[in-house]
């Protein structure tokens, strides 16, 4: 689409806007009817630790949103000479979970508690037992129950509880709703009803009945909507709140606000049953769409949903590339010491490629990359650790293969529960994140770890704001009865390229052998944590 066509699309309101609140950036992406981004805006922000609570203030939220939108509108003006007034649809997304509660006057009762806070261990454990369902500490219901256990005085005054993007959506539309994917990070979802699990809601209400609060859970939680449903319109007050310049017109329809997990699934076309995506960088997580619920709860697995309500098993690992980066920094230092110079990105690529030359099982080397605790393996703290047998084959290829295998070992362990214990079928995984910058090599190692074909798309770098924009586009343009899966397959991703790589048999067998030794030697890592 040329500039003239884009200009006309913007003037006629034939665009869609997605804005996502990440941990360090608020980013907006404007797309046209061919799903290609034509303008963007970004605002940097950081959470703050206040009274031992990781939080963002309301001023942080609104000033950040307004700056992001203003930069996007300026980008439109600079590129196309048009003042942004009309938009076909808007969607908001944000990092999931956390705790935002309001009284009847709409006032925030306590500072926003983000997903990063780990203060809800007692509540999460008790609710997991009560529901027979894994409730992670970061979930909204864990925060609510922990506040009750703490006898916090604000709880009796709660009129509405939501998450960050639910709050933004409410203030811009007046609608107290949430997308089902984000709702699944507040409270367990029943995918047969596409709503909060009614039996668990009753159990929670019964659990707190003796507190005599003037509310029940269903009174204070947002309404759950599916992808494709209209979730309200931008009010005149909301338009001014988003764009204080007054240029943006009211009445724009909004799609259900979603969490960053859901937008990641959409941006990688991983919402169909038996598909999934892997995000690999500082941390690593995988999400696999299931055809049915798991047979039992697993501490290692979080159960959420796609934006269309399909059950999703998530394996989230705190550690991935931090130890790899530390070793590469050491190599760079050694090269400089020898009087050389090196392009760091090129060095990464060469080291990844070298790992493919190593013994399939790493030749007797073992490594743990735990810069921080690793809940999937039961560790609250970590110590990066290299162990090798005296007769180990200590070559650069084996060393780098060990570094890369160790970065994915916890992810493989968690997914083994799905593949081996639950017999979950995975047809395709799509990778995104810095891990896959080393073209081919990172993809091959990931395919070995997951024993599943791994694809990398040319659009993976567009990220969550683009995924939310696609959800808004689906709401606006879907045909009668057209599913989100079909819309993405047939209309969005049919023209975008992807490269798939099948797992190599020797790599898979080698990774399995490495993981067997990895699990067996975990007491070594535990001893390091306890004694060093």
Q: What pLDDT tens digit does each residue of the chain (532 aa) get? A: 556 699 999 999 999 999 999 888 999 999 999 999 999 999 999 899 899 899 999 999 999 999 999 999 999 999 999 999 999 999 999 999 999 999 999 999 999 999 888 889 999 999 999 999 999 988 999 999 999 999 999 999 999 999 999 999 999 999 999 999 999 999 999 999 999 999 999 999 999 999 999 999 999 999 999 999 999 999 999 999 999 999 999 999 999 999 999 999 999 999 999 999 998 888 888 999 999 889 999 988 999 999 999 999 999 898 999 999 999 999 999 999 999 999 999 999 999 999 999 999 999 999 999 988 888 898 888 999 999 999 999 999 999 999 999 999 999 999 999 988 999 999 889 988 888 888 789 999 999 999 999 999 876 556 889 999 999 999 999 999 999 999 999 999 987 888 899 999 999 999 999 999 999 999 999 999 999 9
Q: Please give the pLDDT value at position 141.
A: 98
Tell me the pTM: 0.87
Within a domain: 252: no
Within a domain: 44: no
Residue with structure tokens 């990774």? 511
Q: Pairing state of beta strands 454-457 and 428-432?
A: parallel
| DSSP 8-state symbol, 321 | S
Are the CB atoms for 305 and 191 separated by under 8 Å?
A: yes
The number of domains in the chain is 3
Walk across the sheet containing 275-280 and list its strands: 302-305, 311-317, 284-289, 275-280, 428-432, 454-457, 498-501
Residues 512 and 430 in one domain: no
> Which ranges of 338-425 does DSSP label H, i.e. alpha helix?
344-355, 396-416
Residues 330 and 441 in one domain: no
Within a domain: 101: yes
Distance CA 510, CA 512 (A): 5
Residues 204 and 330 in one domain: no
Distance CA 65, CA 42 (A): 9
CATH number of the structural domain spanning residue 423: 3.30.420.40
Distance CA 271, CA 309 (A): 10
Distance CA 125, CA 417 (A): 21
Q: Please give the pLDDT value at position 2.
A: 54
Q: Is the dihedral of CA 470, 475, 480, 483 positive or negative?
A: positive
Q: Please give the pLDDT value at position 116.
A: 82
Residues 475 and 450 in one domain: yes
Residues 368 and 406 in one domain: yes
Within a domain: 149: yes
Within a domain: 253: no
Within a domain: 232: no
Within a domain: 193: yes
Structural tokens at position 15: 């665009």
Q: In a 10 Å sphere around its CB, with 0-12 CB exposed, 13-18 middle and 19+ buried, how is residue 158 labelled?
A: buried
Within a domain: 525: yes
Residue 219's alpha-carbon distances to 172, 213, 223, in angstroms, are 21, 11, 10
Are the CB atoms for 133 and 204 separated by under 8 Å?
A: no
Distance CA 281, CA 24 (A): 15
Q: Is the dihedral of CA 2, 463, 442, 451 positive or negative?
A: negative
Residues 301 and 400 in one domain: no
Are the CB atoms for 402 and 365 separated by under 8 Å?
A: yes
Quote the distance between the C-alpha of residue 429 and its chain's center: 15
E strands, 198-324, in order: 223-225, 258-259, 275-280, 284-289, 302-305, 311-317
Q: In a 10 Å sphere around its CB, with 0-12 CB exposed, 13-18 middle and 19+ buried, how is residue 50 labelled?
A: exposed
Write out the residue range of the structural domain in which residue 140 sits.
Answer: 97-162+187-220
Residues 277 and 194 in one domain: no
Residues 334 and 403 in one domain: yes
Residues 356 and 471 in one domain: no
Residues 109 and 204 in one domain: yes
Distance CA 113, CA 182 (A): 16
Torsion of CA 490, 492, 495, 499, to 10 degrees: -100
Residues 156 and 273 in one domain: no
Residues 353 and 336 in one domain: yes
Which three-class secondary structure string do you get for 452-517?
CCEEEECCHHHHHHHHHHHHHHHHHHCCCCCCHHHHHHHHHHHHCCEEEECCCHHHHHHHHHHHHH
Output 392-397 pairs: Cβ under 8 A, ≥24 positions apart.
Answer: 392/363, 392/364, 392/365, 393/359, 393/363, 393/364, 393/365, 394/363, 394/365, 395/358, 395/363, 396/351, 396/354, 397/354, 397/355, 397/356, 397/357, 397/358, 397/359
| DSSP 8-state symbol, 138 | T
């Amino acid at each position: 689409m040329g500039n003239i066509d884009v200009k006309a699309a913007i003037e006629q309101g034939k665009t869609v806007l997605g804005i996502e609140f990440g941990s360090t950036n608020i980013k907006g992406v404007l797309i046209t009817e061919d799903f290609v981004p034509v303008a963007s805006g970004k605002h940097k922000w950081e959470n703050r630790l206040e009274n031992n609570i990781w939080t963002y203030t309301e001023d942080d939220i609104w000033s950040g949103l307004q700056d992001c939108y203003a930069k996007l509108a300026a980008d439109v003006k600079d590129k196309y000479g048009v003042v942004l007034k009309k938009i076909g649809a808007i969607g908001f997304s944000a990092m999931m979970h956390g705790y935002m509660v309001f009284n009847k006057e709409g006032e925030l009762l306590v500072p926003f508690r983000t997903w990063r806070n780990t203060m809800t261990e007692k509540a999460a454990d008790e609710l997991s037992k009560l529901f027979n369902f894994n409730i992670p500490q970061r979930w909204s219901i864990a925060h609510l129950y922990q506040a009750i256990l703490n006898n916090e005085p604000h709880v009796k005054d709660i009129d509405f509880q939501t998450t960050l993007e639910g709050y933004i959506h409410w203030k811009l539309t007046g609608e107290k709703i949430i997308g089902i994917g984000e709702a699944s990070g507040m409270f367990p979802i029943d995918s047969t009803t596409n709503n909060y699990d009614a039996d668990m809601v009753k159990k929670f209400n019964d659990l707190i009945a003796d507190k005599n609060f003037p509310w029940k859970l269903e009174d204070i939680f947002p309404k759950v909507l599916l992808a494709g449903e209209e979730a309200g319109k931008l009010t005149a007050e909301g338009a001014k709140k988003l764009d204080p310049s007054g240029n943006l017109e009211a009445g724009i329809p909004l799609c259900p606000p979603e969490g960053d997990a859901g937008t990641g699934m959409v941006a990688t076309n991983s919402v169909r049953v038996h598909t999934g995506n892997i995000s690999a960088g500082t941390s690593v997580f995988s999400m696999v769409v299931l055809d049915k619920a798991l047979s039992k709860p697993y501490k290692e697995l979080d159960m959420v949903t796609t934006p269309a309500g399909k059950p999703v098993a998530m394996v989230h690992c705190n550690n991935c590339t931090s130890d790899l980066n530390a070793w590469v920094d050491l190599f760079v230092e050694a090269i400089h010491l020898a009087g050389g110079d090196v392009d760091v990105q090129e060095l990464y690529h060469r080291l990844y490629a070298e790992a493919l030359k190593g013994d399939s099982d790493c030749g007797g080397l073992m490594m743990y990359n735990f810069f921080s605790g690793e809940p999937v393996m039961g560790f609250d703290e970590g110590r990066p650790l290299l162990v090798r047998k005296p007769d180990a084959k200590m070559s650069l290829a084996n060393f780098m293969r060990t570094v890369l295998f160790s970065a994915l070992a916890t992810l493989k362990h968690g997914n083994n529960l799905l593949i081996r214990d639950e017999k979950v079928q995975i047809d395709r995984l799509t990778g995104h994140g810095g891990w896959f910058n080393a073209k081919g090599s990172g993809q091959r190692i990931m395919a070995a770890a997951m024993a599943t074909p791994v694809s990398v798309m040319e659009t993976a770098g567009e990220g969550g704001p683009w995924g939310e924009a696609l959800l808004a586009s689906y709401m606006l343009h879907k045909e009668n009865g057209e599913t989100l899966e079909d819309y993405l397959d047939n209309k969005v991703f049919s023209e975008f390229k992807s490269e798939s790589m099948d797992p190599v048999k020797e790599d898979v067998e080698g990774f399995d052998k490495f993981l067997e030794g990895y699990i067996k030697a975990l007491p070594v890592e535990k001893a390091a944590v306890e004694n060093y």
